[in-house]
Amino acid sequence: MMYKFAGFLMFIAGLVVFSWKRKHLLLMLLALEFIVLSVYFMIFLYLSFLGNEYFFGMIFLTFSVCEGVLGLSVLVSLIRTHGNDYFQSFNVLW
């Protein structure tokens, strides 16, 4: 019971940081990775109670790593073109 509460608290903390730090792309990506980590923790707990079948957990971990790499590539291209990771420094419509 305590582990479920810890996973839910991690998820809520990640959402709070994601909503507060919306000016910097790097902090938003870190908050998203923390949310993914908390979801992975809750999936791992759920699968361990079912019967130790961790195949779906490994697939989820693979997709979360791919998502992290894609976010870092967007961050690098943003910094190369605009010089920083502020969302206010560039206009999406132009």
- The CATH number of the domain holding residue 33 is 1.10.287.3510
Predicted local confidence at residue 13, as pLDDT = 94
Q: Mean pLDDT lowest for which of 11-25, 36-50, 78-92?
A: 78-92
Domain assignment present for residue 70? The answer is: yes
**Residues composing the chain:** 94
Shortest CA distance to 13 belongs to which of 36, 34, 40, 42?
34
Domain assignment present for residue 8? The answer is: yes
- Its domain, for residue 72, covers 2-82
Domain assignment present for residue 14? The answer is: yes
Domain assignment present for residue 47? The answer is: yes
Tell me the whole-structure pTM to 2 decimals: 0.81
Number of domains present in the structure of the chain: 1
Question: Environment class of residue 28 by beta-carbon count within 10 Å: exposed (0-12), middle (13-18) or buried (19+)?
Answer: buried
Domain assignment present for residue 36? The answer is: yes
User: Residues 8-27: what's their mean pLDDT?
Assistant: 89
Q: Is the dihedral of CA 31, 33, 35, 37 positive or negative?
A: negative
